Amino acid sequence: MKMKLNEQVSSDENEFLNKLHKIVAETIKEEDLILNNLLHPAKDVLSGGQKLSDQVARFGGSWRFIIFFGIILTLWIIYNVTAMGSKAFDPYPFILMNLILSCIAALQAPIIMMSQNRKEEKDRMRSENDYLINLKAEMGIRSLHQKMDLLLGEQIKRLYDLQAIQIKKLDEVVNKLDVNQRLH
């Protein structure tokens, strides 16, 4: 009887360990897939136009550009106000300067928008990475819950089995006592 009980307990332990190993293996497999996506994201291949738009947006949205352009406009105005006669190539009200400013603004705005669209794409990829990290954490938590449920279930099963064995032993003891009382 003891050998049978030991074999049953050993078999239950092996089954329990196999379930735990399976949960751990599945969790590792799922986490490896997510880690692979996080560590090896798709590479950005930029065209020449995209690189140019990034550079224009970087320079066009900087203080360096504003100061440089302010100096040029100031020199333009000073020269055309102080120049005499035919030397002033754009006299007041500076129509040529307004035309150039309008052209620069008309060209610069869509280029900056292209660069902003690329930055939005990068932000979207970052949010996808954040989602993958959150998914990885959720899977880890789910795995822990599975392990805890398995541990608790096995513990309850063991307690129930031990209680059944104890009841059986108590019944045997009671039967032996009854037999001994009848004999005496």
pLDDT tens digits for 4-37?
Answer: 655 666 677 777 777 777 777 777 777 777 777 6
Instruction: Report pLDDT for 73.
Output: 92
Phi, psi of 168 (to 5 degrees): -65, -45
Look up residue 174 and give its amino acid: V
Distance of CA 60 to the CA centre of its chain: 33
pTM (2 decimals)?
0.49
Query: What residues make up the domain containing 37?
Result: 2-183
Instruction: Report pLDDT for 2.
Output: 53
Q: Which of 2, 23, 3 is nearest to 154 (CA)?
A: 23
The total number of structural domains that make up the chain: 1
Residue 16 burial by CB count (10 A; 0-12/13-18/19+): exposed, middle or buried? middle
Distance CA 147, CA 153 (A): 10
